[in-house]
Structure 1
């Protein structure tokens, strides 16, 4: 079960979201050939991925940013870009282009910091835009908790698309990250659950000033948690179509 689109059209072109997606793709293509050479790939990740033990020793602080634009494979990249495409445009629309870029980078750094605190002695390189995108999802939850998200459900041979409120999908996602973090060893590699959870919480916190400027609880009462504009409508289909 994963989201394929929302019913929340953006009021202006999300240039920063598109630029971030393009940068992530271009950066991945620039080193994808290294996956055939483990030694070269490990050296590349040592230079540009975030390694908790190295950062806490006082070295490699720039990797807190560079690691946000690296990915561990095609599925990792594709999944992150799908989530950024679905949720990024609306958050950018509300924040503005430059503030959204600063917000994205800040939540990405915060996510890496939370992971480092959870695994201070780890020498496993951490890569991915997931922490920053989790921050975008946290902002989306605060601003549009009842926006409709189309979910693609796959049960062996059954493919079904159905809409659910954003708060349900995002709460389930956050719960999975929290449970995953509690039940895993962050020093052992794999999914950086605490980075995801930390980025999400950072996104909510950093969006509070904007939410208050919009009216805070009065904004929710005025919109009932829905986007403050007509929702997008899609033709009924069993085949997912991602359109604006």
Structure 2
């Protein structure tokens, strides 16, 4: 299933969400222009390499920096597209400053859980997907009745369908959790598939649990504006 858009219109311009997208893109552009040895050194320094943190607990900064790196063009496009769909509404509900703090802490929580399940791994974990998973968790709390316009490919055909955010995000989380559990037999959760499943789980659980506390009773309520599109 490929998400196309949601049906909730943001009431304010998502300044922080767009800033995050632009910064991720700039970092990826910088990575793209490095030669192989420079790129390897960059990734080893700023990605989350669990074994390095285990051997040097003072190296805490990768928990913050890993969420700004991406491994491929499709990796960053996929992540930024999902952030574009869900992030604007969460920023609208939390406010820009709290949204930024929430996003960063969600990424850190994702990195911590990934590290917990792969402390001895030499495989770098990188990408914004853990922080974006936190945004998706918050979206599920704030907009459980929203709809996600989704493209469902079947063989050579495909259909656009509207799926409730509860179903779409819920199925996504169950897939991450199942994949994380099945990866436990490997030395690291990224070892088999190249995907940091537990980072997704950690970020999502952070978003699910911390969305309401971040509101502190001051978040404005938002109507469910299900706009009518021809498709």
Instruction: Give, in angstroms, the shift of residue 38 of structure 1.
Output: 3.7
Report the RMSD for the aligned CA atoms in angstroms.
1.9
Instruction: Give, in angstroms, the shift of residue 229 of structure 1.
Output: 4.1
Instruction: Specify the alignment match of 1:194 in structure 2.
Output: 198
Distance, in Å, in 2 between the alignment partners of 1:214 and 1:166 is: 23
DSSP-derived class of the 1:45 partner:
helix
Q: Is the 8 A contact 1:52 1:116 kept in 2?
A: yes
Number of equivalenced pairs: 225
Distance, in Å, in 2 between the alignment partners of 1:5 and 1:187 is: 29
Distance, in Å, in 2 between the alignment partners of 1:55 and 1:92 is: 32
Distance, in Å, in 2 between the alignment partners of 1:112 and 1:149 is: 27
Instruction: Specify the alignment match of 2:2 in structure 1.
Output: 2
Which residues of 2 match residues 124-139 of structure 1 at below 5 A?
124-139=123-138
Off by >4 Å, runs of 4+ in structure 1: none
1:235 to 2:218 alignment: no
Runs of 5+ in structure 1 lacking a partner? 237-244
Cα distance, 1:202–1:100 mapped onto 2, change above 3 Å? same
TM-score with structure 1 setting the length: 0.87
1:49 to 2:47 alignment: yes
Q: Is the 8 A contact 2:190 2:197 kept in 1?
A: no
Instruction: Give, in angstroms, the shift of residue 159 of structure 1.
Output: 1.9
Runs of 5+ in structure 2 lacking a partner? none
Q: Is the 8 A contact 1:50 1:60 kept in 2?
A: no
Q: Is the 8 A contact 1:27 1:69 kept in 2?
A: yes
Q: 1:204 aligns with which of 208, 219, 231?
A: 208
User: What do residues 79-114 of structure 1 show as CA deviations (whole Å, max 9, x unaligned)?
Assistant: 100110000000000000000000000000000000
